[in-house]
Amino acid sequence: DVNVNQETIQTENANVDASEETGTGEKKAEQDEPTCKNPDSDGTCLPPSNLEECGIWLAPSSIPGAGLGMYAGRDFKKGEELQPSGEIVIPMIDINHHQYALGDQFFMLWDEYTWSATGLHMDHLGYVEVKVASPGFGSAANSFIDLVNVDELRPRHSIPHGLHRSRDPGAGAFSTYHDRQSTASVDIQKGEELFVDYGQQVSLNRYGWWWFRDRKHFGPVPLLGDLDTATSVFKRFLEMRQKHHKLRDEPFGDLWVSFVEKTDFDDSRSLAAFRKTEEEWRLLHQLKTLKEIRILEGLRTDEWLREHGTCADNMVEGESTIRQAGRGAFATRRLVKDSVIAPLPLIHIGDASILDMLEFEDIRTLKTENVTNGAQLTLNYCFGHRESSLLLCPYGPLTSLINHNQTQANVKLRWADAAKGNHEPELLERLVEHFAFDKTAKLAMELIALRDIQPGEEIFLDYGDDWEAAWQQHVQSWEPHPRAADYISAYQLDSSSERLLTEFEQMDRPYPENVQLRCDIKFFRSIDYDHFQQTGEITVLDYHTSEWVPCEILRFRVVNNQMRYTAVARVDENKNEKLTDAPKEAFKFLDNPYTTDMFLPNAFRHAMMIPDEMFPEYWMNL
Ligand SMILES: C[S@@+](CC[C@H](N)C(=O)[O-])C[C@H]1O[C@@H](n2cnc3c(N)ncnc32)[C@H](O)[C@@H]1O
């Protein structure tokens, strides 16, 4: 509450002024140290922001060699949302096909950080394969399958400010997928590292257990159940030692260490679960399980998080105050001048042309004249420089939502503190080729407040003169695409309260060619459907669990003042299923591939610019 904060500050100042007068007309000596709200580990006072309120931190992971991790800054109850709002999700459309057609050698670090669009219901946007960049939990959190404590849900789909391609030059320039929330899958205590599932379980919205299997460079990472197996192995080891008296007085851990290091078991994911430290050995002897030990080891104190981490929930999503910009980021709390307001770990793309898209006569046959037709939307979410092929795309929580404003910028960029995470400053003195093919993210920036920022203020960054000029040029030369006036998106149809048309009615009044109708097959198979049939109440119909299959409406009727539809769902290629008396909420329109605003040939594309004074000369390869 801004007013309360300001009042408190004013009252505090008034008290100070009163006590400063000593009666002799002299100011009281400045011997009184200011009360230190956020002392650093060595006692230095940090600017008095509200760091104690911070709910999510980015800091080095408790898993050795795993780079950054995310931590809980407070307790979370099972099911509670971990962030003030969910994340934006940015689709990459058939990127491999656009690249193979160019015949390039294709390496993309994003591949290590993207999610399957199928599980997030975004696969219909492309023909072959849609990958999605999901900053925050989707990219910055680690996976430790036996300790997973975070569930990541699906994004919502909506068009902010109702921008339309017939009148808005901003249409197609930002992602319409947003608010991908992350919730606590178990009770989480303050200081715990947060782990997501990359995942092990073959569930629909996850990549599948092969993620680690296909990444041999991580070594044998323990997967589901391996911590429990490892604990049993240790118990068996103790039993064996008790039986064999000679082994009993073995010096501390030696026999054990040689056992777990035995080369025959090199590939064992269970043995890899041991860290082989004396501390671990001691705790195992206290009959703690490896799971308990890992949670204990991963627990961080407030002091540690403040010293090694950066608060990552200082912002919340909202519709931007700049209409054409789409959504934006807003301060959740008072942010103090000169403080770090958000971490920006970066995914590098050595050659920006990887994001070029081609004009295909038909992408399914890859028939193309190799003519570039715009760029992936991802470009708008990355930083670049006019004299370099390098792009750096941030994946910190909510930071992808920050808009450009030259006159009202309240944050600026700087290179991150190497001690706080994934930043290797020596790369600023290496040529781009040196790290372009590196399979892990190694650079990070951070955002600094240029002045005090009050809760609810929109966060603005100056993307640079080049970006500003490109946007102005875009707005001046922009004209609506032919036939834009008639365009109706799936989102518009979904938002409309009009009755759905039957197959027969559509012969006279067809739905636009750019959409298809789907229905949620999961709903019909769930108890929610039975409940709905009995009571007419739509309880769950949850977009996080729904599974949308092609559907055609046969007829409709009114039951208890509610419109209900009977439809045929194409469950798979060979099977249709009849669905009776369903509510409208069980149906949804999807856009067809390559039809939404982001595919408009006149949609704005430009990287945000890294300021000249920060940009290393070594990287200037153009
Ligand atoms: C990093 S994204 C910012 C988040 C974006 N607004 C969204 O809704 O996802 C950068 C894109 O936001 C839009 N944008 C940011 N600042 C803008 C501005 N001042 N005017 C118009 N569009 C802006 C542009 O489309 C730009 O390419």
Percent of the chain at pLDDT exceeding 90: 53
Is the pLDDT confidence value at 169 over 50?
yes
Domain ranges, ordered by start, for the chain: 75-217+304-461, 225-293, 490-595
What's the average model confidence in pLDDT over 533-555?
Answer: 76
Q: What angle do helix axes 290-298 and 226-243 make, rounded to 10 degrees?
A: 120
How far is it, in rounded angstroms, from Cα 619 to Cα 388? 6
**Three-state secondary structure readout of 204-272:** CCCCCCHHHHCCHHHCCCCCCCHHHHHHHHHHHHHHHHHHCHHHHCCCCCHHHHHHHCCHHHCCCCCHH
User: What pLDDT sits at residue 318?
Assistant: 96
Summarised one tens digit per residue, pLDDT across range 218-246 is: 666 677 677 788 888 888 887 877 777 66
Q: Which atom of ligand 1 is nearest to the CA of 463?
A: 16
Q: Which atom of ligand 1 is nearest to the CA of 88?
A: 9
pLDDT band with cut points at 50, 70 and 90 for residue 562: confident
User: What pLDDT sits at residue 25?
Assistant: 37
Is residue 467 lining ligand 1, measured as CB closer than 6 Å?
Answer: no
User: What pLDDT sits at residue 420?
Assistant: 82
Is residue 395 lining ligand 1, measured as CB closer than 6 Å?
Answer: no
How far is it, in rounded angstroms, from Cα 399 to Cα 391? 16
Summarised one tens digit per residue, pLDDT across range 414-423 is: 999 988 868 9
Q: How many CA atoms lie within 13 A of 245 on its CB side?
A: 0
pLDDT band with cut points at 50, 70 and 90 for residue 18: very low
Q: How high is the mean pLDDT of the chain?
A: 83
Paired tokens of 123: 């696969």
Is residue 378 lining ligand 1, measured as CB closer than 6 Å?
Answer: no
How far is it, in rounded angstroms, from Cα 95 to Cα 106? 10
The more confident residue out of 50 and 68 is 68
What's the average model confidence in pLDDT over 88-93?
Answer: 96
**84 C-beta neighbours (distance < 10 Å), count:** 17
* Amino acid identity, position 415: W
Global ipTM: 0.97
Instruction: Encode burial over 159-179: b for 16+ CB neighbours within 10 A, e otherwise.
Output: bbeebbbeebbbbbbbbbbbb
What's the average model confidence in pLDDT over 138-166?
Answer: 89
Is the pLDDT confidence value at 40 over 60?
no
Residue 529's alpha-carbon distances to 77, 297, 436, 538, in angstroms, are 29, 45, 51, 8
Cα 397 to ligand 1 centroid, rounded to whole Å: 16
Q: What single string gives the DSSP state of each residue in 605-622?
A: ---EE--TTTS-GGG---
The CATH class given to the 75-217+304-461 domain equals: mainly beta
Is residue 131 lining ligand 1, measured as CB closer than 6 Å?
Answer: no
Dihedral over Cα of 93, 179, 448, 435: its sign: negative
Is residue 389 lining ligand 1, measured as CB closer than 6 Å?
Answer: no
- Closest listed residue to residue 312, CA positions, set 186, 400, 241, 217: 400
